A and B are shown apart, each in its own frame.
Chain A
Amino acid sequence: MADVHHQVEQFLYKQADLLDRKQWQEWIDLFTPDGVYWMPPEPSHKTWEGMPAIFAEDRNLMTVRMNRVLHPDAWSQRPLWETNHVVSNVVIEKSSPKGITARSRFHMMELRRDDVRHFAGSYTHHLVKAKGGYKIKLQRVDMTNAQAAYDYVLQVWV
């Protein structure tokens, strides 16, 4: 069990690190072919199907977002833009041969031009075993800021 906990932690750290290092394709490849990245606008939502969502993206839509960000004329990506995630409080809620449900907390600091923003909340990861580790079936991001007005927008996954 301790082993599993360590492996899951390492996986979650890697997920956040790939975002901070802008390794978009590698990050998308963490997901299963039917994997979904979901950020509900409020914590009570049980599904993204038919619901308003800040993000509800399969790998195709993730690829659209990645290609946009990489396009030379993505004007909002021209200025200095960096993020820094810290992931902690990892709890394994369910573990079976089929998969693992892990909850954790994150804090992301973002620098854009001269402005700093902070985003924080919890991750719920539904992971499945795969060659060399895990793949993400679902990454649910409950951002504490989700219900507040956004000062500017989110361009990339948190």
Chain B
Amino acid sequence: MLQERSADLSRSLSGYVEPDRVRREVYNDPQIFELEMQRIHERVWTYCGHESQVPKAGDYYTMQIGRQPMIMVRGVDGKVNVLYNRCPHRGNMICGDRHGNAGEFFRCSYHAWTFKHDGKLRSIPMDSAYAGTRFGKSNPDCDMKRAARVENYRGFVFASLANDGPSLREFLGEAIVAFDDMCDRSPEGKVEVVPNCFRVIQHSNWKLFLENQLDALHPSVVHQSTGRAAHNVEKELAKKAKKGETGLKYHMLSAFATVTIDKWDDFQTLNYPGGHSVLTGYMGLRPQDPDTLAYDKIMIKAYGQKRFEEIIGVNIHHVIVYPGLSVQSPLQQLRAVRPLGVDRTLTEIWHFRLKGAPEAIYRRSLAYYNLVNSPATLINADDLENFWKCHQGLASDGGDWVSFGRHFGHDVEKDGHVESAPKMGTSEAPMRGQMKAWSEYMRG
């Protein structure tokens, strides 16, 4: 029955996405959401977490892949496994905490079946009761089910619940730069997680969040209030500063006011197959303060001048790894998108430390993590308000379409990807690319 309904829905979906606009049902139809979970989130490579979240054997973190509660766990052999968080006996969740240490094995809290860290059944109490039945260690159905595929790229662990499909590298394609850019900025080529996860729930469809991330037109409209507020405090501090000093700056906040709306067209988006995209620009600043110079010195020692220039010259503000991640690699933070329902989306927000880099460099990006990405965010409060309003507005019969027509027809196709044309950085090309990928996935 569900299969039939899905087939009907698939046929009608072909009319829901046009190159420059999308039907509103794509955002608020619960049946489409269910199909998205089956055909997109439970098939693609989903970010589970960073291996440094589970340093010791038995350490685990739970997370959601599509609708599936999952566990990422470090085994005694050092391998990171991803398992369904479900006891094969009666379906009880194995880990009820968000994270912790399972000890030498998992133990179900209901009837004490125990499992190894790779999910293999270890013991059943008084197991003679199962003699002559189909249940027991020889039956793989009595193991905790494993994610079909797990891969680790430079410490970032991904899982796919589909047996077949592209490898992680093939899936990431050019978006792999998100992790390379982050790790390469460490003199050791490695990052480790800052042990804290900010979690914020948005009352809107998951796609609205991803569409907003590379929307270069919205910041000067939505974040003007914070930009102005920060810029005014900067001006006051400059007045009070001693001669020769500039006073404290809140560049990360004030840029929303000092970069005027017309200037955002100067940035560029690079849009890749699969809905991934990169926003270039405005983090490519090279300040000459003592902390940066000390960091540069360590980096040059580790990589040599030429490679150092390449690493530091990577011109990225933001990368979308569609459909589950928003990565700000130069600031070493990422937001994992976990759809909870058609109108509810959880973001899990993490910060990473560049191994071997000076403390001051960590603190600089920490300031951004706290001010922009914490639950008391000075920025996202207004974004989330807009997402909620979008979701509410799309429920109305006031119109059937969402428009992605800004600078439509001017995109530049180049070597298999699409670039926003020069001086057209506010192009809605990233949203067009995301919906193109969405249609391809949803075709099944």
Contact = CB atoms under 8 A, between A and B. Distances in A.
B374 A149 contact: no
Contacts of A65: 229, 378
Max chain A Cβ within 10 angstroms of own Cβ: one of B196, B222, B362, B369? B196
A51 B222 CA distance: 28
A153 interface: yes
A54 interface: yes
Given A76-B381, A76-B385, A154 B194 contact: no
Given A39-B376, A67-B229, A155 B381 contact: yes
Interface stretch (B15-23, B87-95, B113-121, B197-205): B197-205
A68 B198 contact: no
Interface string A79-123: 100000000000000000000000000000000000000000000
Interface in B216-251: 222, 224-226, 228-230, 232-233, 237, 248, 250
Contact of A149 (B200, B229, B351, B382): B200
B226 A75 contact: no
B381 A153 contact: yes
Nearest to B247: A60
B228 A67 contact: yes
Max chain B Cβ within 10 angstroms of own Cβ: one of A54, A78, A152? A152
A97 B370 CA distance: 35
Interface string B372-406: 00111110111011100000000000000000000
Max chain B Cβ within 10 angstroms of own Cβ: one of A56, A148, A149, A153? A153
B224 A150 contact: no
B309 interface: no
B253 A64 contact: yes
Contacts of A151: 201, 203
Contact of A75 (B201, B370, B386): B386
B104 interface: no
B376 A54 contact: yes
Given A71-B224, A75-B385, A152 B233 contact: no
Nearest to A66: B229
B75 to A, nearest CB: 27
Contacts of A76: 381-382, 384-385
B386 A56 contact: no
A66 to B, nearest CB: 8
A154 B375 contact: yes
Max chain A Cβ within 10 angstroms of own Cβ: one of B230, B248, B253, B375? B375
Interface in A124-150: 148-150
B362 A50 contact: yes
Contacts of A78: 385
A122 to B, nearest CB: 18
A154 B376 contact: yes
A55 B376 contact: yes
Given A64-B226, A64-B230, A53 B253 contact: no
Contacts of B371: 61
B414 to A, nearest CB: 37
Nearest to B375: A150
Contact of B374 (A53, A61, A79): A53
Nearest to B98: A147
Given A52-B351, A54-B376, A64 B250 contact: yes
Given A50-B362, A64-B230, A75-B386, 18 more contacts: A41-B196, A41-B374, A52-B366, A54-B370, A54-B374, A54-B376, A63-B233, A64-B378, A74-B226, A76-B384, A79-B385, A150-B198, A150-B200, A150-B201, A153-B380, A153-B381, A154-B375, A155-B376
14 contacts: A52-B194, A52-B196, A52-B369, A61-B371, A64-B253, A67-B225, A71-B224, A71-B229, A72-B225, A73-B225, A74-B226, A75-B382, A150-B200, A153-B380
